[in-house]
Structure 1
């Protein structure tokens, strides 16, 4: 049997550089297989939750909500206030009341009170800087802080968004006539309560927030106003009203004269059984 001659096969040998390239290629291939699932796992590990801050909340309520949502000891959010002070106007003197803008904010386990409060303050500054609000405030001779302060009173006093423009007009008209605002909401802020029942003794408390005895706006905002209240503060509904009272839900009556206002208050008193308290101005 004849045999065909075949030359012996030589094994191909990789150079040092070739071996290194092959080794790195294997590592990258294996790493990609492992890394992609790991990255996917990190991205899917936690979905942001939502924290909603309603219009009209006071700073203390916001702090408590942040602590609850972030599962932190009470007082944690309040202790972070100094970190946001530089973003506040000088008039605020480090107090973020009125600048914790009401909105829905995403939070995760890595969210800190300082970062969350800073986001709220930035948002408030942005809303106050919108052209309509900023130009309207200037037209009335108000600083952004004064706009926020007036808006906070409107937010607290208006029974509905539809009434905000008229409530704003009452505030402007009273200021123009050097009349005290006589807003129950500012008394409630001073007394740290929420009620529609204001007594004569309440109107005599010694507080810079007592707008029954002191003229002008309160020294600071009294809650977190929304954009609608800000807009109303700088563009109030035209009118001569000086008084208002909410006789029942959905029925706020605005008056030009005190005599007319007293009639509406008497009507409210007759409906007292419905437990719908007045918002007077």
Structure 2
């Protein structure tokens, strides 16, 4: 069975702390609150006031296709069909799969916009962002290709509870890759199972999929969503640290650990809070029963 792996080289150049900071600042200054991407159109369309299709960070390709179909008023599946036939400037490593290259931004839409035009604009924008010197230099420093950078950034986008945690999540991934440890990311398993959840069963970690990073070492074969600039910045300039584990105990409280023993304590806290929250919801549900109900 073929294994889809990325293993970092044993010897690689490293960005200095100042270099990492400069990289972060340079990329984040270019981010802004919203990126609006122009789409070339004819003179007869210039007078029409465009609507905007907003693609948020972290959307998977099927979710982007569905958004395109909705905004254009097309039958479901139209954008997916267009993606299969459009000439998209994707890396050879992508093998025609645009996952990870449907860049999150705001795209103008008129009555004559086609799915192929939107998809082309998204891929073009992703290539422009990945082709920046900051990303290229950072990727080389870690012995990665731009496509691998996009794949790593997509995991960071899915796993980080906040933008502030992205650098630390990136460091965990880099540290695990450097030690030839499986990434063991629920986000890649969720991608394989086509779902979004924080609950993973032991049996699910044994499924046969190139996206099951519990069983397979290295990065998955493709990105798992559309990462934004902050995730890309974190991928090539991770926060310094020795962390190998992390768990989001509750919203806004992600805990990073360098040892498994410490991580187990954080996981126990997560499970305790989940159990307490489930009990609270059950009590609240009972309290919402209509008054006057009688029991035997």
Moved over 6 A (4+): none
Q: Secondary structure at the match of 2:75?
A: coil
Distance 1:264 1:196 in 2: 15
**Displacement, 1:82?**
3.3
Distance 1:194 1:237 in 2: 26
Per-residue deviation, residues 82-106 of structure 1 (Å, max 9, x unmatched): 3445400000000000000001111
Gaps of at least 5 residues in structure 1 are 1-40, 276-281
Aligned in 2, Cα 1:84/1:230: closer, same or farther, shift over 3 Å?
A: farther
Distance 1:162 1:184 in 2: 20
CA contact (8 A) 1:67 1:75 kept: yes
**Displacement, 1:130?**
1.1
1:146 aligns to what?
148
Give runs of aligned pairs for residues 111-150 of structure 1, distance below 5 A. 111-150=113-152
1:5 aligns to what?
none
Counterpart pick for 2:111 among 101, 109, 112: 109
Aligned in 2, Cα 1:140/1:69: closer, same or farther, shift over 3 Å?
A: same
CA contact (8 A) 2:88 2:120 kept: no
Counterpart pick for 2:251 among 243, 249, 252: 249
Give runs of aligned pairs for residues 36-185 of structure 1, distance below 5 A. 44=47, 46-185=48-187
Aligned in 2, Cα 1:42/1:101: closer, same or farther, shift over 3 Å?
A: closer
**Displacement, 1:43?**
5.6
Aligned in 2, Cα 1:112/1:168: closer, same or farther, shift over 3 Å?
A: same
**Displacement, 1:74?**
0.8
Aligned in 2, Cα 1:85/1:209: closer, same or farther, shift over 3 Å?
A: farther
**Displacement, 1:274?**
3.4
Per-residue deviation, residues 172-214 of structure 1 (Å, max 9, x unmatched): 0000000000000000000000000001011001100000000
Aligned in 2, Cα 1:206/1:42: closer, same or farther, shift over 3 Å?
A: closer
Q: Secondary structure at the match of 2:202?
A: coil
Aligned in 2, Cα 1:134/1:229: closer, same or farther, shift over 3 Å?
A: same
1:16 aligns to what?
none
**Displacement, 1:80?**
1.1
Aligned residues: 235
Give runs of aligned pairs for residues 198-277 of structure 1, distance below 5 A. 198-272=200-274, 273-274=276-277
- The TM-score with structure 2 as length reference comes to 0.77
Distance 1:85 1:145 in 2: 18
CA contact (8 A) 2:100 2:154 kept: yes
Aligned in 2, Cα 1:247/1:82: closer, same or farther, shift over 3 Å?
A: same
Distance 2:50 2:89 in 1: 25
Per-residue deviation, residues 27-77 of structure 1 (Å, max 9, x unmatched): xxxxxxxxxxxxxx9865x31001000100000000000000000111111
C-alpha RMSD of the superposition: 1.5
Distance 1:242 1:73 in 2: 45
Distance 2:243 2:71 in 1: 42
